[in-house]
Structure 1
Amino acid sequence: MIARVWRGITPKEKADDFIAYFNQTGLADYGKTPGNRGTTILRRDQGEHCEIMLVSLWDSMDAVRAFAGESPDHSVYYPEDEHYLLQMEPLVRHYEVAQQISPGADAPKR
């Protein structure tokens, strides 16, 4: 499984609106893409700014490419993103999920 991590910075007063906009655009497209296993949206207020981090899970890099295209390391942006974001980061990061632990599960033994 692959974790795709994207980060953006918004003015604090636009953060809620950006998350709502993302739900209508990116999250909707994630959900329509075979191989998407869900997304976690993280938010961190920092004074006047808000950092938003998206962690989406995918079956494989092929599934990521089905969403992002042939250059899966490039961020995917939507027409109104520039209205919310202070900077448009060009790249995302991908990680192989080494382990996923469910609540109540025993911790791995060393």
Structure 2
Amino acid sequence: MPTEPTIARIWRGRTRPENADSYEAYIKAEGIPPLEKTALGVQLFREDREQESWFTTISYWSDLQSMTAFTKGEPTKVHHLDRDPEFLIELPAFIQIHRILINRQGLR
């Protein structure tokens, strides 16, 4: 099994600005830890706009099989957190899965 990621799984969701701080704390506590235990890496991004705040989670996987095992056989299905309907403006309908073609870090 490769130790370098070959697959990135990308989820995006948005909240109203007044819910953004609470959702950030929630996703850090409930959404990120399972990925930290299983994926090769995970990143959480937040973009605050005037009318909404966007959250993007990218998890990195060695191969499609390891990601499929984590998602219980449905890698493109969105697995919503219990409180997502409370926080999110709309529930995301899909996950993006990308093959990693170049993975360079530490460039100056």
Q: Aligning the two structures, in what range does the TM-score lie when normalised by the shorter sequence?
A: 0.7 to 0.9
The number of equivalent residue pairs is: 103
Per-residue CA distance 1:13-39 (angstroms, 9 max, x = gap): 211221211122121111222xx1111
What is the alpha-carbon root mean square deviation over aligned residues?
Answer: 1.4
Amino acid across the alignment from 2:69: A
The share of aligned pairs that are identical, in percent, is 24
Deviating beyond 4 angstroms after TM superposition, the runs of 4 or more aligned structure 1 residues are: none
Distance 1:90 1:70 in 2: 17
Amino acid across the alignment from 1:28: P
Q: 1:62 aligns with which of 60, 65, 69?
A: 65
Amino acid across the alignment from 2:34: D
Superposition deviation, residue 85 in structure 1: 0.5
Distance 2:19 2:80 in 1: 17
TM-score when scaled to structure 1? 0.85
- Return 5+ residue gaps in structure 2 as ranges: 1-5
Contact 2:36 2:42 in 1 (8 A): no
Higher percent of residues as strand: 1
TM-score when scaled to structure 2? 0.86
